[in-house]
Structure 1
Amino acid sequence: MLKRIARTAGFSGLLAALLLTLLQSLWVAPLILQAETYESAAPVAEHHSHGDSAEEGHGHSHDAWSPQDGWQRVLSTTGANLVVAVGFALILAALYSLREPSRTGTGALWGLAGFAVFCLAPTLGLPPELPGTAAADLGQRQSWWIGTAAATALGLALLVFAAPKWLKAVGAVLLVMPHLIGAPQPEVHQSLAPEALQTQFKIASWLTNAAFWLALGLLSAWLYHRPRHS
Protein backbone atom coordinates (compact mmCIF):
# COMPACT_ATOMS: atom_id res chain seq x y z
CA MET A 1 0.00 0.00 0.00
CA LEU A 2 2.80 2.43 0.88
CA LYS A 3 4.55 1.66 -2.41
CA ARG A 4 1.29 2.23 -4.26
CA ILE A 5 0.76 5.58 -2.55
CA ALA A 6 4.36 6.68 -3.18
CA ARG A 7 4.29 5.70 -6.85
CA THR A 8 0.95 7.43 -7.37
CA ALA A 9 2.13 10.62 -5.66
CA GLY A 10 5.50 10.68 -7.40
CA PHE A 11 4.34 10.30 -10.99
CA SER A 12 1.13 12.31 -10.73
CA GLY A 13 2.91 15.08 -8.82
CA LEU A 14 5.66 15.26 -11.43
CA LEU A 15 3.28 15.48 -14.39
CA ALA A 16 0.97 17.96 -12.71
CA ALA A 17 3.93 20.12 -11.65
CA LEU A 18 5.21 20.25 -15.22
CA LEU A 19 1.76 21.28 -16.44
CA LEU A 20 1.53 24.00 -13.79
CA THR A 21 5.00 25.32 -14.66
CA LEU A 22 4.08 25.47 -18.35
CA LEU A 23 0.86 27.38 -17.66
CA GLN A 24 2.60 29.74 -15.27
CA SER A 25 5.40 30.42 -17.76
CA LEU A 26 2.95 31.21 -20.55
CA TRP A 27 0.38 33.18 -18.57
CA VAL A 28 1.22 34.03 -14.96
CA ALA A 29 4.94 34.88 -15.16
CA PRO A 30 4.52 37.53 -17.90
CA LEU A 31 2.00 39.34 -15.68
CA ILE A 32 4.42 39.27 -12.75
CA LEU A 33 7.24 40.62 -14.93
CA GLN A 34 4.96 43.37 -16.14
CA ALA A 35 4.05 44.29 -12.56
CA GLU A 36 7.73 44.38 -11.62
CA THR A 37 8.29 47.10 -14.20
CA TYR A 38 5.81 49.31 -12.33
CA GLU A 39 7.56 48.50 -9.07
CA SER A 40 10.97 49.36 -10.52
CA ALA A 41 9.68 52.57 -12.14
CA ALA A 42 8.12 53.88 -8.91
CA PRO A 43 9.93 56.94 -7.52
CA VAL A 44 12.18 56.17 -4.56
CA ALA A 45 10.37 58.57 -2.23
CA GLU A 46 6.97 57.20 -3.19
CA HIS A 47 8.22 53.63 -2.82
CA HIS A 48 9.44 54.31 0.71
CA SER A 49 6.34 56.25 1.77
CA HIS A 50 3.85 53.71 0.43
CA GLY A 51 5.94 50.54 0.28
CA ASP A 52 6.65 49.95 3.97
CA SER A 53 3.52 47.88 4.51
CA ALA A 54 3.97 46.07 1.21
CA GLU A 55 7.56 45.17 1.99
CA GLU A 56 6.58 44.08 5.47
CA GLY A 57 3.84 41.86 4.09
CA HIS A 58 5.97 40.31 1.38
CA GLY A 59 9.21 40.12 3.35
CA HIS A 60 11.01 41.79 0.43
CA SER A 61 14.72 42.36 0.73
CA HIS A 62 16.91 44.04 -1.86
CA ASP A 63 19.86 41.96 -0.66
CA ALA A 64 18.04 38.62 -0.91
CA TRP A 65 18.90 36.32 -3.80
CA SER A 66 16.26 35.85 -6.42
CA PRO A 67 16.44 33.84 -9.65
CA GLN A 68 17.12 35.79 -12.83
CA ASP A 69 14.64 35.82 -15.67
CA GLY A 70 15.01 32.87 -17.99
CA TRP A 71 16.15 29.38 -17.10
CA GLN A 72 16.90 30.22 -13.44
CA ARG A 73 13.36 31.39 -12.78
CA VAL A 74 11.81 28.49 -14.70
CA LEU A 75 14.02 25.96 -12.91
CA SER A 76 13.29 27.35 -9.45
CA THR A 77 9.56 27.52 -10.24
CA THR A 78 9.60 23.91 -11.46
CA GLY A 79 11.36 22.73 -8.31
CA ALA A 80 8.93 24.53 -6.02
CA ASN A 81 5.93 23.27 -7.99
CA LEU A 82 7.27 19.71 -7.87
CA VAL A 83 7.62 19.75 -4.08
CA VAL A 84 4.13 21.17 -3.61
CA ALA A 85 2.54 18.88 -6.21
CA VAL A 86 4.03 15.69 -4.76
CA GLY A 87 2.90 16.77 -1.29
CA PHE A 88 -0.66 17.33 -2.47
CA ALA A 89 -0.57 14.08 -4.43
CA LEU A 90 0.47 12.23 -1.27
CA ILE A 91 -2.59 13.64 0.48
CA LEU A 92 -4.86 12.50 -2.36
CA ALA A 93 -3.30 9.03 -2.55
CA ALA A 94 -3.64 8.62 1.23
CA LEU A 95 -7.31 9.61 0.98
CA TYR A 96 -7.77 7.09 -1.83
CA SER A 97 -6.52 4.37 0.51
CA LEU A 98 -9.35 5.28 2.90
CA ARG A 99 -12.03 5.82 0.26
CA GLU A 100 -10.92 4.49 -3.09
CA PRO A 101 -12.38 6.33 -6.12
CA SER A 102 -14.78 4.18 -8.09
CA ARG A 103 -13.33 5.32 -11.42
CA THR A 104 -10.66 7.61 -12.78
CA GLY A 105 -13.17 10.41 -13.38
CA THR A 106 -13.83 10.56 -9.64
CA GLY A 107 -10.33 11.95 -9.31
CA ALA A 108 -11.57 15.14 -10.97
CA LEU A 109 -13.97 15.64 -8.06
CA TRP A 110 -11.16 15.12 -5.56
CA GLY A 111 -9.08 17.58 -7.57
CA LEU A 112 -11.84 20.19 -7.51
CA ALA A 113 -12.14 19.68 -3.77
CA GLY A 114 -8.40 20.27 -3.41
CA PHE A 115 -8.70 23.43 -5.51
CA ALA A 116 -11.53 24.68 -3.28
CA VAL A 117 -9.60 23.92 -0.08
CA PHE A 118 -6.12 25.13 -0.97
CA CYS A 119 -6.79 27.83 -3.55
CA LEU A 120 -10.33 29.12 -4.01
CA ALA A 121 -11.46 29.51 -0.40
CA PRO A 122 -8.24 31.14 0.90
CA THR A 123 -7.93 33.49 -2.07
CA LEU A 124 -11.49 34.74 -1.67
CA GLY A 125 -10.15 36.62 1.34
CA LEU A 126 -6.50 36.89 0.36
CA PRO A 127 -6.44 37.16 -3.44
CA PRO A 128 -3.22 36.56 -5.39
CA GLU A 129 -1.03 39.66 -5.20
CA LEU A 130 1.32 41.19 -7.70
CA PRO A 131 4.66 42.72 -6.68
CA GLY A 132 4.20 46.17 -5.18
CA THR A 133 0.90 45.38 -3.49
CA ALA A 134 0.34 46.32 0.15
CA ALA A 135 -0.43 43.38 2.42
CA ALA A 136 -1.28 42.72 6.04
CA ASP A 137 1.08 41.12 8.56
CA LEU A 138 2.51 37.87 7.18
CA GLY A 139 1.87 35.86 10.35
CA GLN A 140 -1.78 36.94 10.47
CA ARG A 141 -2.27 36.06 6.82
CA GLN A 142 -0.67 32.64 7.27
CA SER A 143 -2.87 31.88 10.30
CA TRP A 144 -6.02 32.90 8.45
CA TRP A 145 -4.99 30.89 5.37
CA ILE A 146 -4.37 27.73 7.39
CA GLY A 147 -7.61 28.14 9.35
CA THR A 148 -9.59 28.72 6.15
CA ALA A 149 -8.12 25.70 4.40
CA ALA A 150 -8.78 23.47 7.44
CA ALA A 151 -12.34 24.74 7.87
CA THR A 152 -13.06 24.30 4.15
CA ALA A 153 -11.67 20.75 4.11
CA LEU A 154 -13.68 19.70 7.15
CA GLY A 155 -16.78 21.49 5.90
CA LEU A 156 -16.66 19.76 2.52
CA ALA A 157 -16.03 16.39 4.16
CA LEU A 158 -19.09 16.79 6.38
CA LEU A 159 -21.29 17.95 3.51
CA VAL A 160 -20.29 15.05 1.26
CA PHE A 161 -19.74 12.13 3.63
CA ALA A 162 -21.72 12.83 6.81
CA ALA A 163 -25.14 11.21 7.04
CA PRO A 164 -26.90 13.25 9.79
CA LYS A 165 -28.34 16.51 8.55
CA TRP A 166 -27.05 18.42 11.55
CA LEU A 167 -23.49 17.45 10.63
CA LYS A 168 -24.08 18.69 7.09
CA ALA A 169 -25.31 21.94 8.59
CA VAL A 170 -22.12 22.17 10.65
CA GLY A 171 -20.17 21.64 7.42
CA ALA A 172 -22.00 24.52 5.74
CA VAL A 173 -21.23 26.78 8.70
CA LEU A 174 -17.55 25.85 8.56
CA LEU A 175 -17.40 26.82 4.88
CA VAL A 176 -18.61 30.37 5.51
CA MET A 177 -17.14 31.00 8.98
CA PRO A 178 -13.64 32.12 7.89
CA HIS A 179 -15.16 34.62 5.48
CA LEU A 180 -17.52 35.96 8.13
CA ILE A 181 -14.50 36.47 10.40
CA GLY A 182 -12.66 38.11 7.52
CA ALA A 183 -9.08 37.92 6.30
CA PRO A 184 -6.48 40.32 7.74
CA GLN A 185 -6.16 43.44 5.64
CA PRO A 186 -3.48 46.14 5.35
CA GLU A 187 -4.10 49.54 6.88
CA VAL A 188 -3.96 51.12 3.43
CA HIS A 189 -5.03 49.27 0.26
CA GLN A 190 -2.73 50.31 -2.55
CA SER A 191 -0.84 48.77 -5.43
CA LEU A 192 1.70 50.04 -7.93
CA ALA A 193 0.25 47.89 -10.73
CA PRO A 194 -2.95 48.97 -12.52
CA GLU A 195 -6.26 47.45 -11.46
CA ALA A 196 -6.71 45.76 -14.85
CA LEU A 197 -3.38 43.96 -14.46
CA GLN A 198 -4.32 42.79 -10.96
CA THR A 199 -7.61 41.40 -12.29
CA GLN A 200 -5.79 39.51 -15.05
CA PHE A 201 -3.38 38.09 -12.49
CA LYS A 202 -6.18 36.85 -10.22
CA ILE A 203 -7.97 35.15 -13.10
CA ALA A 204 -4.76 33.61 -14.41
CA SER A 205 -3.83 32.31 -10.96
CA TRP A 206 -7.26 30.79 -10.37
CA LEU A 207 -7.48 29.11 -13.79
CA THR A 208 -3.93 27.73 -13.76
CA ASN A 209 -4.46 26.31 -10.27
CA ALA A 210 -7.81 24.83 -11.31
CA ALA A 211 -6.13 23.11 -14.27
CA PHE A 212 -3.35 21.87 -11.99
CA TRP A 213 -5.78 20.36 -9.47
CA LEU A 214 -7.94 18.74 -12.14
CA ALA A 215 -4.86 17.17 -13.71
CA LEU A 216 -3.54 16.06 -10.32
CA GLY A 217 -6.86 14.49 -9.38
CA LEU A 218 -7.29 12.63 -12.67
CA LEU A 219 -3.67 11.46 -12.86
CA SER A 220 -3.55 10.31 -9.24
CA ALA A 221 -6.83 8.40 -9.53
CA TRP A 222 -5.70 6.72 -12.76
CA LEU A 223 -2.29 5.78 -11.36
CA TYR A 224 -3.84 4.54 -8.11
CA HIS A 225 -6.03 2.14 -10.09
CA ARG A 226 -3.26 1.06 -12.43
CA PRO A 227 -1.51 -1.54 -10.19
CA ARG A 228 -4.73 -3.49 -9.99
CA HIS A 229 -4.75 -4.02 -13.76
CA SER A 230 -1.01 -4.60 -14.19
Structure 2
Amino acid sequence: MLHRILLAALVAGFVGGLATAVLQHFTTTPLILEAELYENGEAGAVHSSLAPSGLNGATYGGARLILAHTGGDHADGDHEAWGPADGIERTLYTAVATVGTAFGFALILLSAMVLTNTRITARSGLLWGLAGFAAAGLAPALGLAPELPGSAAAELDLRQMWWIATAVATAGGLWLALRISTPLAIVGGIVLMLLPHVVGAPHPGGFVSEVPAELAGHFAAASLVVMAVVWTLSGVVAGYVWQRGEARQAAAAAA
Protein backbone atom coordinates (compact mmCIF):
# COMPACT_ATOMS: atom_id res chain seq x y z
CA MET A 1 0.00 0.00 0.00
CA LEU A 2 2.73 2.46 0.97
CA HIS A 3 4.63 1.64 -2.22
CA ARG A 4 1.54 2.36 -4.34
CA ILE A 5 0.90 5.67 -2.57
CA LEU A 6 4.50 6.81 -3.05
CA LEU A 7 4.58 5.74 -6.70
CA ALA A 8 1.32 7.51 -7.56
CA ALA A 9 2.41 10.63 -5.64
CA LEU A 10 5.80 10.69 -7.39
CA VAL A 11 4.23 10.47 -10.84
CA ALA A 12 1.67 13.12 -9.92
CA GLY A 13 4.39 15.35 -8.50
CA PHE A 14 6.50 15.07 -11.63
CA VAL A 15 3.68 15.57 -14.14
CA GLY A 16 1.68 18.14 -12.18
CA GLY A 17 4.77 19.96 -10.94
CA LEU A 18 6.35 20.37 -14.36
CA ALA A 19 3.08 21.47 -15.94
CA THR A 20 2.58 24.03 -13.17
CA ALA A 21 6.18 25.23 -13.44
CA VAL A 22 5.61 26.00 -17.13
CA LEU A 23 2.42 27.88 -16.24
CA GLN A 24 4.27 29.86 -13.56
CA HIS A 25 7.01 30.72 -16.01
CA PHE A 26 4.56 32.70 -18.14
CA THR A 27 2.19 34.02 -15.45
CA THR A 28 3.41 34.64 -11.90
CA THR A 29 7.18 34.72 -12.55
CA PRO A 30 7.16 37.90 -14.70
CA LEU A 31 5.05 39.63 -12.05
CA ILE A 32 7.50 38.66 -9.29
CA LEU A 33 10.46 39.94 -11.30
CA GLU A 34 8.65 43.21 -11.98
CA ALA A 35 7.82 43.59 -8.27
CA GLU A 36 11.45 42.99 -7.32
CA LEU A 37 12.40 46.02 -9.35
CA TYR A 38 10.09 48.15 -7.21
CA GLU A 39 11.26 46.47 -4.00
CA ASN A 40 14.90 47.19 -4.84
CA GLY A 41 14.18 50.72 -6.04
CA GLU A 42 15.21 49.88 -9.61
CA ALA A 43 11.87 50.29 -11.34
CA GLY A 44 12.38 53.93 -12.25
CA ALA A 45 15.82 53.30 -13.71
CA VAL A 46 14.80 50.45 -15.99
CA HIS A 47 11.12 51.04 -16.68
CA SER A 48 11.77 53.06 -19.80
CA SER A 49 13.54 50.08 -21.38
CA LEU A 50 10.72 47.63 -20.70
CA ALA A 51 7.86 46.81 -23.06
CA PRO A 52 4.22 47.23 -21.98
CA SER A 53 4.37 43.76 -20.43
CA GLY A 54 7.04 45.10 -18.07
CA LEU A 55 9.61 42.40 -18.80
CA ASN A 56 10.81 42.68 -22.38
CA GLY A 57 14.31 41.16 -22.43
CA ALA A 58 14.21 40.16 -18.76
CA THR A 59 15.15 36.65 -17.71
CA TYR A 60 12.22 34.68 -16.36
CA GLY A 61 12.39 32.53 -13.23
CA GLY A 62 11.55 32.80 -9.54
CA ALA A 63 12.06 30.53 -6.55
CA ARG A 64 9.27 32.15 -4.53
CA LEU A 65 6.34 31.29 -6.76
CA ILE A 66 4.33 29.08 -4.40
CA LEU A 67 5.32 30.44 -1.03
CA ALA A 68 4.02 33.83 0.10
CA HIS A 69 6.74 36.47 0.29
CA THR A 70 7.48 37.60 3.83
CA GLY A 71 7.98 41.18 2.76
CA GLY A 72 10.98 43.38 3.43
CA ASP A 73 13.24 40.79 5.07
CA HIS A 74 16.85 41.46 4.08
CA ALA A 75 20.10 40.48 5.69
CA ASP A 76 22.11 43.29 7.26
CA GLY A 77 25.37 44.56 5.85
CA ASP A 78 27.18 42.49 3.30
CA HIS A 79 25.73 39.18 4.52
CA GLU A 80 22.75 38.90 2.20
CA ALA A 81 20.75 35.70 2.11
CA TRP A 82 21.68 33.42 -0.77
CA GLY A 83 19.34 33.17 -3.70
CA PRO A 84 19.58 31.50 -7.10
CA ALA A 85 20.86 33.64 -9.95
CA ASP A 86 18.40 34.89 -12.54
CA GLY A 87 18.09 32.76 -15.62
CA ILE A 88 18.36 29.00 -15.92
CA GLU A 89 19.48 28.50 -12.31
CA ARG A 90 16.47 30.29 -10.87
CA THR A 91 14.11 28.56 -13.29
CA LEU A 92 15.46 25.14 -12.35
CA TYR A 93 15.13 25.83 -8.62
CA THR A 94 11.57 26.95 -9.20
CA ALA A 95 10.74 23.81 -11.16
CA VAL A 96 12.25 21.55 -8.49
CA ALA A 97 10.34 23.37 -5.73
CA THR A 98 7.10 23.12 -7.70
CA VAL A 99 7.56 19.39 -8.36
CA GLY A 100 8.18 18.88 -4.64
CA THR A 101 5.05 20.86 -3.82
CA ALA A 102 2.92 18.82 -6.22
CA PHE A 103 4.35 15.60 -4.76
CA GLY A 104 3.39 16.76 -1.26
CA PHE A 105 -0.14 17.68 -2.37
CA ALA A 106 -0.60 14.29 -4.07
CA LEU A 107 0.68 12.51 -0.98
CA ILE A 108 -1.79 14.37 1.23
CA LEU A 109 -4.71 13.66 -1.12
CA LEU A 110 -3.92 9.96 -1.53
CA SER A 111 -3.40 9.47 2.19
CA ALA A 112 -6.69 11.18 2.98
CA MET A 113 -8.57 9.10 0.40
CA VAL A 114 -7.06 5.87 1.68
CA LEU A 115 -7.83 6.71 5.31
CA THR A 116 -11.44 7.59 4.45
CA ASN A 117 -11.87 4.45 2.33
CA THR A 118 -12.64 6.53 -0.77
CA ARG A 119 -12.45 4.80 -4.14
CA ILE A 120 -9.44 6.39 -5.80
CA THR A 121 -9.92 7.35 -9.43
CA ALA A 122 -9.01 10.31 -11.61
CA ARG A 123 -12.47 11.77 -10.91
CA SER A 124 -12.26 11.40 -7.15
CA GLY A 125 -8.73 12.80 -7.30
CA LEU A 126 -10.09 15.85 -9.09
CA LEU A 127 -12.79 16.38 -6.47
CA TRP A 128 -10.37 15.97 -3.58
CA GLY A 129 -7.91 18.26 -5.33
CA LEU A 130 -10.59 20.94 -5.60
CA ALA A 131 -11.32 20.51 -1.90
CA GLY A 132 -7.60 20.82 -1.14
CA PHE A 133 -7.42 24.02 -3.14
CA ALA A 134 -10.47 25.41 -1.35
CA ALA A 135 -8.95 24.64 2.06
CA ALA A 136 -5.32 25.57 1.46
CA GLY A 137 -5.66 28.21 -1.25
CA LEU A 138 -9.02 29.85 -1.71
CA ALA A 139 -10.14 30.18 1.92
CA PRO A 140 -6.84 31.60 3.27
CA ALA A 141 -6.66 34.01 0.30
CA LEU A 142 -9.93 35.56 1.45
CA GLY A 143 -8.03 36.99 4.41
CA LEU A 144 -4.43 36.92 3.21
CA ALA A 145 -4.08 37.38 -0.53
CA PRO A 146 -0.91 36.08 -2.22
CA GLU A 147 1.74 38.77 -1.83
CA LEU A 148 4.45 40.11 -4.07
CA PRO A 149 7.89 41.19 -2.82
CA GLY A 150 7.60 44.67 -1.34
CA SER A 151 3.96 44.27 -0.30
CA ALA A 152 2.80 45.42 3.12
CA ALA A 153 2.34 42.50 5.50
CA ALA A 154 1.81 41.72 9.18
CA GLU A 155 4.22 39.62 11.26
CA LEU A 156 5.08 36.34 9.56
CA ASP A 157 4.35 34.21 12.64
CA LEU A 158 0.86 35.64 12.98
CA ARG A 159 0.11 35.11 9.30
CA GLN A 160 1.35 31.53 9.41
CA MET A 161 -0.77 30.73 12.47
CA TRP A 162 -3.88 32.21 10.87
CA TRP A 163 -3.22 30.46 7.57
CA ILE A 164 -2.83 27.05 9.23
CA ALA A 165 -5.92 27.56 11.39
CA THR A 166 -7.95 28.61 8.35
CA ALA A 167 -6.80 25.65 6.23
CA VAL A 168 -7.58 23.17 9.02
CA ALA A 169 -10.95 24.76 9.80
CA THR A 170 -11.94 24.82 6.12
CA ALA A 171 -10.90 21.21 5.60
CA GLY A 172 -12.85 20.17 8.68
CA GLY A 173 -15.88 22.19 7.59
CA LEU A 174 -15.84 20.66 4.13
CA TRP A 175 -15.62 17.18 5.66
CA LEU A 176 -18.64 17.83 7.87
CA ALA A 177 -20.69 19.42 5.10
CA LEU A 178 -19.81 17.10 2.22
CA ARG A 179 -19.01 13.74 3.80
CA ILE A 180 -21.23 13.51 6.88
CA SER A 181 -23.91 15.75 5.33
CA THR A 182 -26.48 15.64 8.12
CA PRO A 183 -28.29 18.95 8.69
CA LEU A 184 -26.41 19.51 11.94
CA ALA A 185 -23.09 18.60 10.33
CA ILE A 186 -23.71 21.00 7.44
CA VAL A 187 -24.48 23.86 9.81
CA GLY A 188 -21.45 23.00 11.93
CA GLY A 189 -19.24 22.83 8.85
CA ILE A 190 -20.36 26.24 7.64
CA VAL A 191 -19.78 27.77 11.06
CA LEU A 192 -16.32 26.17 11.24
CA MET A 193 -15.35 27.52 7.82
CA LEU A 194 -16.55 31.01 8.69
CA LEU A 195 -14.88 31.15 12.11
CA PRO A 196 -11.34 32.17 10.99
CA HIS A 197 -12.78 34.99 8.89
CA VAL A 198 -14.91 36.21 11.80
CA VAL A 199 -11.76 36.33 13.94
CA GLY A 200 -9.97 38.09 11.08
CA ALA A 201 -6.57 37.70 9.45
CA PRO A 202 -3.59 39.69 10.76
CA HIS A 203 -2.83 42.78 8.69
CA PRO A 204 -0.27 45.58 8.96
CA GLY A 205 -1.19 48.90 10.52
CA GLY A 206 -1.25 50.56 7.11
CA PHE A 207 -1.60 49.12 3.63
CA VAL A 208 1.53 50.73 2.20
CA SER A 209 3.21 48.83 -0.62
CA GLU A 210 6.21 49.43 -2.82
CA VAL A 211 4.51 47.80 -5.81
CA PRO A 212 1.56 49.15 -7.83
CA ALA A 213 -1.89 47.93 -6.84
CA GLU A 214 -2.56 46.71 -10.39
CA LEU A 215 0.50 44.48 -10.24
CA ALA A 216 -0.45 43.11 -6.83
CA GLY A 217 -4.01 42.39 -7.93
CA HIS A 218 -2.87 40.62 -11.09
CA PHE A 219 -0.44 38.50 -9.07
CA ALA A 220 -3.08 37.51 -6.51
CA ALA A 221 -5.45 36.33 -9.24
CA ALA A 222 -2.76 34.49 -11.20
CA SER A 223 -1.43 32.82 -8.04
CA LEU A 224 -4.85 31.42 -7.19
CA VAL A 225 -5.20 29.99 -10.69
CA VAL A 226 -1.75 28.40 -10.45
CA MET A 227 -2.57 26.91 -7.06
CA ALA A 228 -5.86 25.52 -8.36
CA VAL A 229 -3.98 23.90 -11.25
CA VAL A 230 -1.34 22.26 -9.06
CA TRP A 231 -3.92 20.89 -6.60
CA THR A 232 -6.24 19.51 -9.27
CA LEU A 233 -3.47 18.13 -11.48
CA SER A 234 -1.89 16.42 -8.49
CA GLY A 235 -5.21 14.82 -7.58
CA VAL A 236 -6.15 13.79 -11.12
CA VAL A 237 -2.79 12.27 -12.02
CA ALA A 238 -2.42 10.50 -8.66
CA GLY A 239 -5.94 9.09 -8.99
CA TYR A 240 -5.31 7.97 -12.56
CA VAL A 241 -2.04 6.21 -11.68
CA TRP A 242 -3.70 4.52 -8.71
CA GLN A 243 -6.64 3.43 -10.86
CA ARG A 244 -4.34 1.98 -13.52
CA GLY A 245 -2.42 0.12 -10.85
CA GLU A 246 -5.63 -1.42 -9.54
CA ALA A 247 -6.62 -2.46 -13.06
CA ARG A 248 -3.26 -4.16 -13.62
CA GLN A 249 -3.55 -5.99 -10.30
CA ALA A 250 -7.06 -7.18 -11.15
CA ALA A 251 -5.91 -8.38 -14.59
CA ALA A 252 -2.97 -10.25 -13.06
CA ALA A 253 -5.20 -11.89 -10.48
CA ALA A 254 -7.67 -12.99 -13.14
CA ALA A 255 -4.95 -14.46 -15.37
| 1:67 is the counterpart of 2:84 | yes
Unaligned runs of 5+ in 1: 44-54
Q: Judging changes above 3 Å, is the alpha-carbon distance between structure 1 residues 218 and 56 closer, same or farther for their aligned structure 2 residues? A: closer
Aligned-partner Cα distance in 2 for 1:58–1:223: 42
Single out whichever of 56-65 and 167-176 deviates more from structure 2.
56-65
Conserved 8 A contact 2:120-2:242: no
**1:190-224 C-alpha deviation (Å, 9 max, x unpaired):** 11111111111011101111111121111111111
Conserved 8 A contact 2:121-2:242: no
- Which residue number in structure 2 is paired with residue 13 of structure 1? 13
Partner of 1:41, secondary structure, is coil
- Which residue number in structure 2 is paired with residue 179 of structure 1? 197
Conserved 8 A contact 1:118-1:149: yes
Conserved 8 A contact 2:113-2:120: no
Aligned-partner Cα distance in 2 for 1:116–1:110: 10
Q: How does 1:1-230 map to 2 (within 5 A)?
A: 1-41=1-41, 57=71, 59-61=73-75, 63-97=80-114, 98-101=116-119, 103-230=121-248
Q: Moved runs in structure 1, 4+ residues, more than 6 A?
A: none
Conserved 8 A contact 1:119-1:206: yes
Aligned-partner Cα distance in 1 for 2:216–2:92: 25
Q: Judging changes above 3 Å, is the alpha-carbon distance between structure 1 residues 18 and 56 closer, same or farther for their aligned structure 2 residues? A: closer
Equivalent position amino acid for 1:61 in 2 = A
TM-score, normalised to structure 1, is 0.89
Q: Judging changes above 3 Å, is the alpha-carbon distance between structure 1 residues 109 and 58 closer, same or farther for their aligned structure 2 residues? A: farther
- Higher RCO structure (Cα 8 Å, ≥6 apart): 1
Equivalent position amino acid for 1:12 in 2 = A
Equivalent position amino acid for 2:117 in 1 = R
Instruction: Tell me the C-alpha RMSD between the 2 structures.
Output: 1.8
Aligned-partner Cα distance in 1 for 2:170–2:72: 25
- Cα offset for 1:89? 0.9
Equivalent position amino acid for 1:64 in 2 = A
Equivalent position amino acid for 2:138 in 1 = L
- Cα offset for 1:58? 5.0
Aligned-partner Cα distance in 2 for 1:58–1:37: 13
Aligned-partner Cα distance in 2 for 1:156–1:229: 30
Equivalent position amino acid for 1:107 in 2 = G
Conserved 8 A contact 2:122-2:239: yes
Single out whichever of 155-164 and 143-152 deviates more from structure 2.
155-164
- Cα offset for 1:123? 1.2
Q: Judging changes above 3 Å, is the alpha-carbon distance between structure 1 residues 70 and 93 closer, same or farther for their aligned structure 2 residues? A: same
Equivalent position amino acid for 1:5 in 2 = I
Q: Judging changes above 3 Å, is the alpha-carbon distance between structure 1 residues 105 and 185 closer, same or farther for their aligned structure 2 residues? A: same
Greater percentage in helix: 1
Unaligned runs of 5+ in 2: 44-68, 249-255
TM-score, normalised to structure 2, is 0.81
Single out whichever of 4-13 and 58-67 deviates more from structure 2.
58-67
- Cα offset for 1:79? 2.0
Aligned-partner Cα distance in 2 for 1:35–1:102: 41
